[in-house]
Chains A and B, each alone.
Chain A
């Protein structure tokens, strides 16, 4: 028998109530139970950052987080960055800078960039590079990604 848990949380601004398996990962909950496939599954072990989401405003790897721990928390995924007003400025900046190639890493990359912009008031260009260390991209070479984020945060290269 596998234990189940009832969780109440906010997902992209909407209150949710669900009963889930206690051992379920947050990533599996989002992708397989809620059909929210914006958050990507790649390594499944914390190395690549493709599964990055915001939990109470902090970025985490959803593949390592227990969905049971969503209870009472405020969750934002890539789907939540777009509003009626359009895309998040971070998403627009990535497009404008041509920072996206195949796009697979991008939901995680952009969520981590959002976290950096929201939590570090005096971030430097080197600081933002370090802040993105947990996000692997096989295509872009990172340069345009860094420039896009620097642009949003308003820091010189």
Chain B
């Protein structure tokens, strides 16, 4: 019953500061362990072989927790999905994060799964990623340059390069994700599909964000998950809606445009045809909900 993991695991470290972790990752032959809900299975089935050293970052207190300061939300990489669900201030400022967290896996998984792990796992179906893209979030990356910590920020939209692939270099640690608190009147909603609400890797997921004022939609963002190699923004559907009057068949037209921007696959969860159909339905419903609800 014990599966032999792939790759080599010849050292284990549990650093307590970002600097210690960055040093432990510096030579590029280390795997990061956060909640482990992806890594444990992926190391066993060969998708993510161990790189030699296992660096458990769960003891780094400064990586956990969310705060809102100066109009920006900053969520530490180790903040769990349960932490997000229970964070009253966050839920008030950005309800869509709690809405998404509530649809995530099961209680037990939410207690372990971290937001940083969800982002770094880079699944096109990663749920927390979808609203974060609609919020135009950026991620903070830290690494050790031999003498000190080097940090850089990357727009989340530029972060993903394919399924399980990101622009992150081997020695880098994702430390936080941040975004501006949405302006008053700007609403963001999330939807995901699955035969049942719990424990469902999304067949299709979507987020819609817009400000609908005096019958006109602005700041439109449409994000789609599980329908392309990475989560995507549906730019032509966004352009069609930007500055348009939110009435008549606008929602239906934008939804059709969004469905035209995806490159879904057939797999065990759904056919490409069904994913296209769901995308259109979800986007239309989300638009109607935000603009008329």
Bound CA–CA A45/B45 (angstroms): 11
- Which of B107-115, B168-176, B222-230, B269-277 sits within the interface? B107-115
Bound CA–CA A22/B31 (angstroms): 12
CB distance from B112 to the nearest CB of A (A): 5
Q: Name the B residues within 8 Å of A3 (CB-CB).
A: 9-12, 53-54
Q: Name the A residues within 8 Å of B162 (CB-CB).
A: none
Complex interface bits, A49-70 against B, C-beta within 8 A gives 1, otherwise 0: 1001000001111011110110
Range of interface residues on B (Cβ < 8 Å): 20 to 34
Bound CA–CA A135/B106 (angstroms): 9
Decide: B58 and A46 in contact? CB cutoff 8 A. no
Most buried by A among B2, B14, B33, B41: B2
> 6 A-B residue contacts at CB 8 Å?
A22-B9, A25-B40, A46-B108, A69-B36, A69-B56, A134-B105
Decide: A134 and B36 in contact? CB cutoff 8 A. no
CB distance from A52 to the nearest CB of B (A): 6
Range of interface residues on A (Cβ < 8 Å): 35 or more
B37 at the interface (CB under 8 A from A): yes
Q: Name the A residues within 8 Å of B40 (CB-CB).
A: 25, 63-66
- Tell me the chain B residues, 17-68 only, with Cβ under 8 Å from chain A: 33, 35-37, 40-41, 43, 50, 53-54, 56, 58
Decide: B54 and A23 in contact? CB cutoff 8 A. yes
CB distance from A28 to the nearest CB of B (A): 5
A residues bordering B, Cβ < 8 Å?
Answer: 1-5, 22-25, 28, 32, 41, 44-47, 49, 52, 58-61, 63-66, 68-69, 71, 112, 115-116, 130-131, 133-135
Bound CA–CA A45/B108 (angstroms): 12
Decide: A68 and B107 in contact? CB cutoff 8 A. no
B33, B41, B107: the one contacting A112 at CB < 8 Å is B107
Q: Name the B residues within 8 Å of A112 (CB-CB).
A: 107-108
Most buried by A among B12, B41, B106: B106
Decide: A133 and B56 in contact? CB cutoff 8 A. no
CB distance from B96 to the nearest CB of A (A): 19
Bound CA–CA A58/B82 (angstroms): 10
Q: Name the A residues within 8 Å of B2 (CB-CB).
A: 24-25, 28, 32
Most buried by A among B33, B35, B109: B109
Main secondary structure of the interface of B (DSSP, over half): mixed
Q: Name the A residues within 8 Å of B9 (CB-CB).
A: 2-3, 22-23
Decide: A65 and B36 in contact? CB cutoff 8 A. yes
Residue of B nearest to A63 (CB): B40
Decide: A65 and B112 in contact? CB cutoff 8 A. yes
Q: Name the B residues within 8 Å of A64 (CB-CB).
A: 35-37, 40-41, 109, 112
Q: Name the A residues within 8 Å of B198 (CB-CB).
A: 130, 133-134
B244 at the interface (CB under 8 A from A): no
B197 at the interface (CB under 8 A from A): yes
Q: Name the A residues within 8 Å of B199 (CB-CB).
A: 47, 133-134
Decide: A59 and B14 in contact? CB cutoff 8 A. no
Decide: B108 and A52 in contact? CB cutoff 8 A. yes
Q: Name the A residues within 8 Å of B147 (CB-CB).
A: none
Bound CA–CA A65/B33 (angstroms): 10
Q: Name the B residues within 8 Å of A46 (CB-CB).
A: 37, 41, 105-106, 108-109
Q: Name the A residues within 8 Å of B5 (CB-CB).
A: 23
Q: Name the B residues within 8 Å of A130 (CB-CB).
A: 197-198
Bound CA–CA A69/B199 (angstroms): 24
Q: Name the A residues within 8 Å of B56 (CB-CB).
A: 66, 68-69
Bound CA–CA A41/B39 (angstroms): 18
With A2-B10, A44-B1, A133-B198 in contact, is A58–B37 under 8 Å at CB? Answer: no
Bound CA–CA A10/B51 (angstroms): 30
A28, A52, A69: the one contacting B58 at CB < 8 Å is A69
Decide: B106 and A1 in contact? CB cutoff 8 A. no
Decide: A28 and B111 in contact? CB cutoff 8 A. no
- Tell me the chain B residues, 101-148 only, with Cβ under 8 Å from chain A: 105-109, 111-112
Bound CA–CA A25/B5 (angstroms): 11
Q: Name the B residues within 8 Å of A5 (CB-CB).
A: 12
CB distance from B78 to the nearest CB of A (A): 12
Decide: B36 and A66 in contact? CB cutoff 8 A. yes
Bound CA–CA A4/B12 (angstroms): 7
